[in-house]
Amino acid sequence: MSGSRIEMRLGGTGGQGLLLSAKILADALAAGGKRVAQSQTYEPTSRGGFCNADLVISDAEVDFPLATAIDQLVLLDRLAVKPSWPLLKPGALVIADTRLCPELPAGDYRRYHLPLSRTALELGSERVTNIVALGALVALSGICGREQVEQAVRAEAPRGFLDLNVDALKAGYGLLTQEDGLANSPEPPARPLRDGIYRGAALVAGICQNCKAAYFPKPELCVNCHGDDIKEIELGAECVLFSFTTVHTEAAHSGLPYSIGYVDFPEGVRVFGPLDVEDPSNLRVGMPLRLEIGLMQHDGAGASIIGHRFVAT
């Protein structure tokens, strides 16, 4: 690590585990004798809005705890580019996910475009993209020792997901190429589970203007009155659990056990989808959930599928 002060940002969206990754790295650095100040900025929404976790690292006392000139930047979503780019120092290290942040502005920086989220999916869960990114950052920057980081991961990771997180860290170490700092081969473009059902981070539903029946996905004709005046609406993120089941038989792209169910939105629409909870025994009818849209699995050609799920708030 060159210089007496290094400023680092992990940028993406709420719900990606950026604050956890920053804490793990801060603990590892502190164990190695560094002084670290951690801060974060985020939108009021707990998931889906932009989120930045910053670290200021120094051999001596940190004189100012906020990042003002970023030396190392990790991008897990394109939403983080705009608030971070004005702070980027010339020659900075930038690590970006090839799919969630496919385009970067031109500039004087070292670019590593790596398949972070795809690697996490191949390990079994997109939720460890943050740990894959942490491994890539440590390997590229040499900011601290790998053993220190692994010890911090073991201390912070949920016990039931410890092996997965350690595997994700090691997978991040192995993503790099030495030739030009880019991924070796382009990834197939992601495609939605079904055309027309997503708009940004929202589900696109339909309401019949004649009888007010609500549907997801939006139909061409109303099943209730057979009218064809169906107005598109975007559903909010908040919903409640209507019914569910937990499956204990293995299926492709799913760990065991996994849960699926129906949720009700305030707009009057009922939607089916996977339920993302650490412990299925905690599921209860009527409990609040929140919509997430993102990478879910791969198809037979290797392309990733964009889908939706519902997570506990």
Q: What is the CATH number of the domain that holds 118?
A: 3.40.920.10
**Share of residues in the chain with pLDDT > 90 (%):** 52
Residue 37 confidence (pLDDT): 93
Q: Are residues 209 and 114 in the same domain?
A: no
- Does residue 259 share a domain with residue 110? no
Reported as a single tens digit per residue, the pLDDT across 246-291 is 988 765 555 567 899 999 999 999 999 999 887 889 999 999 999 9
Indicate if 110 and 243 belong to the same structural domain.
no
Confirm whether 87 is domain-assigned: yes
The number of C-alpha atoms within 13 Å of 281 and in the hemisphere containing its C-beta is 0
Q: What is the CATH number of the domain that holds 287?
A: 2.40.50.840
- In sequence order, the β-bridge partners of residue 292 are 309
Higher pLDDT, 294 or 239: 239
Residues 265 and 228 in one domain: yes
Q: Are residues 195 and 293 in the same domain?
A: yes
pLDDT at 106 over 60: yes
Picking from 165, 196, 188, 11, the residue whose alpha carbon sits closest to that of residue 94 is 11
Domain boundary among 147, 173, 199: 173
Position 184 in a domain: no
For the segment 214-224, what is each residue's pLDDT rounded down to a tens digit? Answer: 999 999 999 99
Q: How many domains does the chain have?
A: 2
Residue 102 and residue 19 share a domain: yes
Question: Is 169 inside a domain boundary?
Answer: yes
Domain that residue 25 falls in:
5-173
**Backbone φ, ψ for residue 43 (5° rounding):** -80, 165
Pairing of strands 270-276, 304-312: parallel
Q: Tell me whether residue 280 is in a domain.
A: yes
Domain assignment present for residue 178? The answer is no
Which of 173, 208, 237 is the C-terminal boundary of a domain?
173
Domain final residue, candidates 173, 208, 227:
173
Task: Verify that 204 and 144 share a domain, yes or no.
Answer: no
Confirm whether 200 is domain-assigned.
yes
- Domain check: are 246 and 153 in the same one? no
Q: Which residues, in sequence order, are bridge partners of residue 259?
A: 246, 275
Q: Is the pLDDT reported for residue 300 higher than 90?
A: no
Residue 288 is assigned to a structural domain of this protein: yes
Q: Name the more confident of 305 and 188.
A: 305
Same domain, residue pair 143 and 213 = no
Are both 131 and 263 inside the same structural domain? no
38 and 103 belong to one structural domain = yes
Residue 114 resides in a domain: yes
The owner of tokens 């599928």 is 305
- Greater confidence, 288 or 59? 288
Do 19 and 158 have their domain in common?
A: yes
- Provide the percentage of residues in the chain whose pLDDT is more than 70: 87
Question: How high does pLDDT run on average in the chain?
Answer: 85
